[in-house]
Structure formats: structure tokens, C-alpha cells
């Protein structure tokens, strides 16, 4: 008898199909999901060079945020914004996301990293701040000062807002070869995996 498909396999197949749908429908999406909105929390921009400093400390910042027992609305909104932006930026996995100004994902990377820095600064500056937040913020500020603002790009002076989600430049993906190659590979693997999951098994005969 043919074994029925298990729930994990169905879940994997659904996830693969969802990813394929997202990637094929993505070019029609706008760059800013909340363009013109100013009702959120304003966030200062980052220079191109400063992005790497925040990325190198991002895990420590989020770990500190996760261990914070006393939160407030600003804290929660900044943390939520950084997580949403990171997800829309495909978790920073696309080639050149942080280093290549021409990457379709560079703009959204600026946003989630600027939000991460704003979160750290808020944890440091609020009353009764955790000494660990002050220490980490001082360390990051020192690294940012050493980096300076020499490495600028088109997104370096762009302010952000928690009410305005920055999406990747989907329409630029076909012309950015590293990204197009990476996403093309994902689609091929996804399609192949989905085919294998739904391929009927051969009936087992009793000798």
C-alpha cells in the first residue's frame, strides 16, 4: 500500500509553494509599503559603512532585548519594526545585501539596521536602563565613530519610520546578477523539492 503523506511533508510543500509564489509575484510590489506615513517612531539613517558595525552587533542587541523584562511601547514598536524589516529583507541572506549599493535589498537592509540601532539607543537612554545596555551602546557608538560617515550611498541620508515598511526593489532583481542567480537557484530547488514530495511512491509487493 502507498503510505499517506505525513503532516511535516505537507507543511514543507506548502512552505515551498508559498516561497515560490512570493518570489514570482514580488516584482509588482512597491518599494515603500507605507510611503508618506509619519505617525510612527522616527528613526535616524545609517551611512553605508556604519551598516556593518550594526550587523556585527545585531545578535547581541537582539539578545539583550529578549532578556529585557521591563518594556514600553517605544521598545516594542522598534523591536517589531526591526523584525518585520529583517524578514522582508529575506533575513539579509541575498548576496550584496549589506555591501552592494546596487543590490535590490540594500535599502531594506538600511532600514532594519537603522531600526536595530534605534532600539539599542532607546534601551540605553530610558530611565533605569540596564548597565549592559549602556555598555553595549557605548561599544557600538565607539565603533560607529571610528567608521565615520565616509562610506555613503543613496540610502545613507534617508530617514525611516516604524509606520513605513521598506520593501526590496523587486523590479531591480532581474538586472542584479548575484541576486537573480541566488533567487533563481532557490526557485529551482523549491520546484524540485515540491516535485519529489508529491511524486507517488511505488507500491510495495509482498514476495
- The pLDDT of residue 101: 86
- The pLDDT of residue 36: 60
- The pLDDT of residue 137: 96
N- to C-terminal Cα separation, the chain: 14
Only one residue has cell 529578549, namely 66
- The pLDDT of residue 4: 45
With cut-offs at 50, 70 and 90, classify the pLDDT of residue 3.
Answer: very low
List the one residue out of 103, 108, 120 whose CA is nearest residue 178: 103
pLDDT score of 22 more than 70? no
With cut-offs at 50, 70 and 90, classify the pLDDT of residue 19.
Answer: very low
- The pLDDT of residue 152: 55
Which carries the bigger pLDDT value, residue 134 or residue 182? Answer: 134
Amino acid at each position: 500500500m502507498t503510505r499517506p503523506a505525513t503532516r511535516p511533508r505537507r507543511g514543507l510543500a506548502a512552505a515551498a509553494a508559498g516561497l515560490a509564489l512570493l518570489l514570482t509575484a514580488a516584482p509588482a510590489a512597491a518599494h515603500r509599503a507605507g510611503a508618506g506615513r509619519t505617525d510612527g517612531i522616527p528613526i535616524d539613517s545609517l551611512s553605508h559603512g556604519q551598516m556593518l558595525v550594526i550587523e556585527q552587533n545585531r545578535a547581541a542587541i537582539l539578545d539583550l532585548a529578549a532578556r529585557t523584562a521591563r518594556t514600553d511601547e517605544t521598545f516594542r514598536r522598534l523591536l517589531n519594526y526591526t523584525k518585520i524589516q529583517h524578514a522582508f529583507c529575506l533575513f539579509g541572506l541575498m548576496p550584496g545585501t549589506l555591501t552592494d549599493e546596487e543590490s535590490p535589498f540594500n535599502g531594506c537592509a538600511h532600514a532594519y539596521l537603522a531600526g536595530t540601532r534605534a532600539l539599542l539607543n532607546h534601551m540605553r537612554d530610558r530611565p533605569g536602563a540596564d548597565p549592559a545596555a549602556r555598555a553595549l551602546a557605548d561599544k557600538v557608538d565607539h565603533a560607529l565613530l571610528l567608521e565615520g560617515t565616509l562610506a555613503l550611498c543613496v540610502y545613507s541620508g534617508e530617514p525611516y519610520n516604524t509606520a513605513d515598511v521598506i520593501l526590496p526593489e523587486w523590479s531591480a532583481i532581474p538586472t542584479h546578477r548575484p541576486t537573480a542567480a541566488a533567487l533563481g537557484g532557490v526557485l529551482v530547488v523549491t520546484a524540485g523539492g515540491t516535485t519529489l514530495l508529491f511524486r507517488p511512491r511505488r507500491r510495495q509487493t509482498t514476495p
